[in-house]
Amino acid sequence: MTNELKRLKKVLTHDDPESPCSEEEDEEDQRDARDGALKIAVHILRNMNQEIIAQQLEKYGLFPRCQQKLRNNLTEKFQGVFEGVPQSGNPTFLEKIYTELYITEGESVEVNTEHEVRQIEMASRRQITKRETPIKCTDIFKPLPGQDKPIRTVLTKGVAGIGKTVSVQKFILDWAKENANQNIHFIFPLPFRELNLIKDKKYTLLDIIHHFFSETKDFAFSNQDRYNIAFIFDGLDESRLPLDFQHNECIYNVSEPASVDVLLTNLIKGNLLPSALVWITSRPAATNQIPPECVDQVTEVRGFNDPQKEEYFMKKITKMELASRIITHLKSSRCLYIMCHIPVFCWMAATVLEYILTETESGEIPTSLTQMYTHFLIIQTKRRSQKYGNRDAETLCNLKTIMSLGKLAFQQLEKDLHQTAVDLALRNENGHLDLFLRFLLGLSLESNQKLLQDLVQRGSSSLNTEETVKYIKLKIREAPNPERCINLFHCLNELNDHSLVEEVKGYLRKGKETREDLSLSQLSALAFVLLMSDQELEEFNLEDYGGRGSPARSDAGLLRMLPVVKASRRVK
């Protein structure tokens, strides 16, 4: 209060008459004087035990200014989105490119050991095969139809790059611009990445709020229901906090100091600020850190459905004709179009295809994941070099690292590694090596090596891709795990071999009466074709693919078709 009195005295008595003040500065001084007087009045009223009057004075005096400052700061911080390498002073405005994400009610909190690439593919199919009610990110705290209980704590899960952070950003920006959720008085986004930096010290919850949001330092929040507050904790998977819900001490006072870990567990449990809303985002593997009883609602970000994919490209690419060409190309490659379910992959695809179609006279347009990522690496490296030149030591270091990794990879390729990698991937039941195997095989094609000519001397590889293709087909015949078998067809696609798939497509063009029995390998190819189709899997009937006694009707055949069974609405 002493400092406030000194500042108020200075403003009111004009201690420095020689200093010229603009009208704007004079208005700011008057606002400061008013705020100082209000703080003093609130302080005196609280000392007189006149809490109700003090709260009213805060609400109608200090509150609007404090809230507006918070809105302004959050708008400044979250209105821009940097895609890829940040361009200094030139972010893309979120509202310009934001495309509504497909968010649905998720399953309960559980440990998911399945690799994220596998989850991405399954989520893409679920979008097509399930009729679910989408949830807008602005409605994340609203009860779903049929829910009577109010929602306090929401846990939103989703794989990397699926759009969790952007959803949070959109929620905050809409509130800050007074477009949504105006029943909330304050929103405090506290990413786990930032909380990690203060995890070894003790604070009160008020200290943390005032540390990250200095514009609120004049407010003394308490466990009483005076203000509606929302805390957003983004990136649970990045947390370095123990989050020991079972053994952490219980705290009920926002002015009681404790470790950040203890404060968070008590806030999430509702001991601290029980009326506050809490939104946590996480990758699936980390969600089990929050006990199910502490979560009122689980949601899942599924990324873009097909119409949203097209909407994103039409917003991202300013030239409509070019955007249409890019969409048409992506639709022609089913594996790429499925990956566009992930917003960050859409951005990569837009970056690569816009560059190839506008800035290069010729060049092969990517049709596989390996080609897309290779082009993306080259484009980003070129752009960074053009921006910083040789003055950027970090760029040179990154380039040296990339060159070293590339050299190491190709040296290992020169030593029939493919077959070993295939075996390792097949033995890994949760699919953690699936994507690695696709890229490893894709990089052995000479067409992809041409793109990386600075990293490898073409023609030096002693690998015979035909032998690799034969080995993969042998493994398909040996009936491995059906999910791993699907990945082997992705591998054949990266190696530009479509023979089994074309056999099955020819089979499907025939009438049911003239179809011959399919072998087990062809059944696996059939499963791949059906799963990669853009048609909804309404009903799957094994009788359509072979009569009684055929491989399709055997237990082994059913096992091959299990991924299709899982993705279909109805099965006969």
Nearest residue to 74 via CA among 184, 157, 158: 184
Q: How far apart are CA 435 and CA 494, in angstroms?
A: 11
Task: Specify the CATH number of the domain 78-303.
Answer: 3.40.50.300
SS3 7: helix
Which pLDDT does position 56 carry in this prediction?
A: 67
Residue 129 pLDDT: 44
pLDDT at 64: 80
Position 175 scores a pLDDT of 96
Strand partners of residue 115: none
Residue that the structure tokens 């035909």 belong to = 466
Predicted pLDDT at 413: 57
List the domain boundaries for the chain: 2-49, 78-303, 498-571
* 233 membership: H or E segment, kind and range: strand 229-233
Exposed, middle or buried, 461 (CB in 10 Å: 0-12/13-18/19+)?
middle
pLDDT tens for the chain, residues 1 to 572? 567 556 655 554 444 555 555 555 566 666 666 666 777 777 777 778 877 777 666 666 677 888 899 999 999 999 987 665 444 445 678 888 888 887 887 765 544 555 555 555 555 555 444 456 788 899 999 988 888 889 999 999 988 888 999 999 999 999 999 999 999 999 999 999 999 999 888 999 999 999 999 988 877 677 665 789 999 999 999 999 999 999 999 999 999 999 999 999 999 999 999 999 999 999 988 999 999 999 999 999 988 888 999 999 999 998 999 999 999 999 998 889 988 988 989 999 999 999 999 877 666 788 888 889 888 888 877 776 666 555 555 556 666 766 776 666 566 555 567 888 898 888 877 777 888 888 888 877 877 777 766 554 444 444 578 888 999 999 998 866 888 888 999 999 989 899 999 989 888 888 777 778 888 898 999 999 988 887 777 888 877 887 777 777 888 888 888 888 888 888 87
* Cβ 206 vs Cβ 267: under 8 Å: no
Query: Is the distance from CB of 254 to CB of 80 less than 8 angstroms?
Result: no
pLDDT of residue 229: 94
Check residue 128 and give its pLDDT.
Answer: 44
Q: Give the Cα separation of 212 and 210 in Å (integer).
A: 6
Chain centre to alpha carbon of residue 245:
26
Q: Give the span between the Cα atoms of 157 and 288, in whole angstroms.
A: 11
Q: Is the pTM of this model over 0.75?
A: no
pLDDT at 519: 86
Reduced to 3 states (helix: H, G, I; strand: E, B; else coil), residue 155 is strand
Amino acid letter, residue 228: N
- What gap in Å lies between CA 323 and CA 311, rounded to an integer? 10
